[in-house]
Structures are given as C-alpha cells and as structure tokens.
C-alpha cells in the first residue's frame, strides 16, 4: 500500500506556456499533500502544503500566482506552473501524507516530474 | 528552524562492504524518516523511526531521540543500493518534513 503517482513524468514546453502536474494517492486518502522542487544534486525544497478543500499554504519565497495548487479531492492534487520560463525548469515531486495511528503522519512520494522550459 | 545534518556527503564502496550513514538534528523531533532516492529520482521510504531500532533485510536504522541523531546501516552493499539517502524529520505538531542534504552512495561492482 501507500502508492503515489505523478503525471506526466517528463514535460518539455515553450516559454510562456502553462503546465499542469497531477499527483494522486492510489490506495489511501490523503488530506494533506505536499509539493517539492529539487535542483540537480540538491535536497528537496518544500514549495507548498496542499489541504483538501482549502487554499494551499506556500513557503516563503514561492510565488503563489506562478505555482497554482488545487487539492480537489482526497486523492488528487494538481500543480500548475503558469507562464513557465527557463528558470522554472526543475524536478517537481509531490508527496501524500498518510496517518499512522497514535504515531503521526508518514509521507509517501510520487516519482517526480521533470520540467524543461525552452 | 531545525537543522538536519547528514554525513558523510559522499560515500564510495565496493560491493559487499558495510556502511553507516549518520543524521544529526538540532532540536527535538516527533518523527524521522529515511529515504533512498534512486537514480531515476523516486524517493523510496526506508524507515519511519522516531526512536529505537528497526531492521529490513540488509538495512537497519537506529534513532536516539534524546541525543538527536539517527543512523542508517547498510550491510553487504549491492550496486542497486547506489543513490542518495535522505534523512528527514517532523518537528512539533507540523506535518512538514525537514530534509537533510543527503548522502550520495556509490557502490562499485
């Protein structure tokens, strides 16, 4: 159990276009999902926390109008990179939080989406 | 905020060797996870270990929360163990994970 899918796995787009990335928890319901960005040879950087049915909470320095997040159901969150530019090229990873009884929550990660903006 | 430091940053082993990866954190934490990021970028959950010792095959982990560190042991390493190993912690009532910078492991045949 605890499988998270992400689609697409790779996308190449022209500067100025928008790209939507989907994150799905396949076998559990996730009230909270997270979006990360990872630059080459670096650690994961949290971009935003997404809660089902409410507005996302963005980390400091992340442009909420550039990175639109929608968490429409307990199994689906989407990240839309609007008016993408070459500096938005990166590896985007989502995670979904699954509760562990009496212990807390455990995050499970999608396989990531590699975005290249030309 | 809390700082998570991992050591060593890079580690090169011959197949069959054993290794220990360390994760130090600067404040008390509720929980801790170890991940393996494979060469394709997928993060794989290895351990969810707020305290104590757990074992899964050739891998084991120990967290000593009172001393603010965790160790990941890899025995009889294989080439498929190559990748980056991340330690990440949950602090307070937050659901957010704070990641270390990772240890890049290369296992040569």
Q: Tell me: the pLDDT tens digits for A6-36?
A: 999 999 999 999 999 999 999 999 889 999 9
For chain B, how far is it from start to end, CA to CA, in angstroms?
A: 40
Strand, helix or coil for residue A95: strand
Overall average pLDDT of the B82-105 stretch = 92
Cβ contact (<8 Å) for A104 and B97?
no
| Distance between A110 CA and the closest CA of chain B, angstroms | 7
- Would you say residue A56 has pLDDT above 70? yes
Question: Within chain A, what is the greatest distance between any pair of CA atoms?
Answer: 47
Q: Which of B34, B26, B74 is CA-nearest to residue B50? A: B34
Q: Which of A11, A6, A29 is CA-nearest to residue A78? A: A6
- Would you say residue B93 has pLDDT above 90? no
Q: Determine the residue of chain B that is closest to A36 in CA distance.
A: B97
pLDDT at A102: 59
pLDDT at B91: 78
Cβ contact (<8 Å) for A111 and B101?
no
Annotate B20-84 with DSSP letters as a single string. EEEEEESS--SEEEEEEE-TTS-EEEEEE-SSEEEEETTEEEEEEGGGTEEEEEE-S--GGG-EE
Interchain CB contacts (distance < 8 Å): A and B: 52
For A62, other C-beta atoms within 10 Å of its C-beta total: 17
pLDDT bin (cut points 50, 70, 90) of residue A101 is low
pLDDT at A103: 64
Cis ω before B86 (30° cut-off from 0): no
pLDDT at B79: 96
Strand, helix or coil for residue A3: coil
| Distance between B45 CA and the closest CA of chain A, angstroms | 7
Best of A107, A108, A111 to substitute, by most chain B Cβ atoms within 10 angstroms, is A107
B5-57 pLDDT, tens digit each: 999 999 999 999 999 999 999 998 888 999 999 999 999 999 999 999 999 99
For chain A, how far is it from start to end, CA to CA, in angstroms?
A: 37
Cross-chain CB nearest to A43 (options B33, B90, B101): B101
pLDDT at B44: 95
- Would you say residue A91 has pLDDT above 70? yes
d(CA A32, CA A49): 7
Cβ contact (<8 Å) for A44 and B31?
no
Overall average pLDDT of the A42-54 stretch = 91
- Would you say residue A54 has pLDDT above 90? no
Cross-chain CB nearest to A111 (options B33, B42, B96): B42
pLDDT at B106: 97
pLDDT at A68: 96
With contacts defined as CB-CB under 8 Å, which chain B residues touch A100? Answer: 48
Instruction: Spell out the domains of chain B, with CATH numbers in brackets.
Output: 4-108 (2.60.40.10)
For A15, other C-beta atoms within 10 Å of its C-beta total: 12
Residue recorded with tokens 């990360």: A36
């Amino acid at each position: 159990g605890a499988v998270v899918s992400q689609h697409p796995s790779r996308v190449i787009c022209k500067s100025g276009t928008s790209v939507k990335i989907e994150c799905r928890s396949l076998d559990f319901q996730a009230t909270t999902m997270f979006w990360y960005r990872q630059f080459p040879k670096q650690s994961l950087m949290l971009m935003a926390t997404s809660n089902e049915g409410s507005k996302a909470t963005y980390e400091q320095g992340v442009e909420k109008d550039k990175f639109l997040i929608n968490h429409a159901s307990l199994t689906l969150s989407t990240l839309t990179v609007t008016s993408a530019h070459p500096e938005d090229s990166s590896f985007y990873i989502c995670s979904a939080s699954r509760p562990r009884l009496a212990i807390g929550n455990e995050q499970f990660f999608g396989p990531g989406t590699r975005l290249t903006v030309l | 905020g809390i700082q998570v430091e991992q050591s060593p940053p890079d580690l090169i082993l011959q197949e069959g060797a054993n290794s220990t990866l360390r994760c130090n954190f600067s404040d008390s934490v509720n929980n801790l996870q170890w991940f393996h990021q494979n060469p394709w970028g997928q993060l794989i959950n290895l351990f969810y270990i707020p305290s104590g010792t757990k074992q899964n095959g050739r891998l084991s982990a120990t967290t000593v929360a009172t001393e603010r560190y965790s160790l990941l042991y890899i025995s009889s390493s294989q080439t498929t163990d190559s990748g980056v190993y991340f330690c990440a912690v949950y602090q307070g009532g937050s659901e957010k994970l704070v990641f270390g910078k990772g240890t890049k492991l290369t296992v040569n045949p």
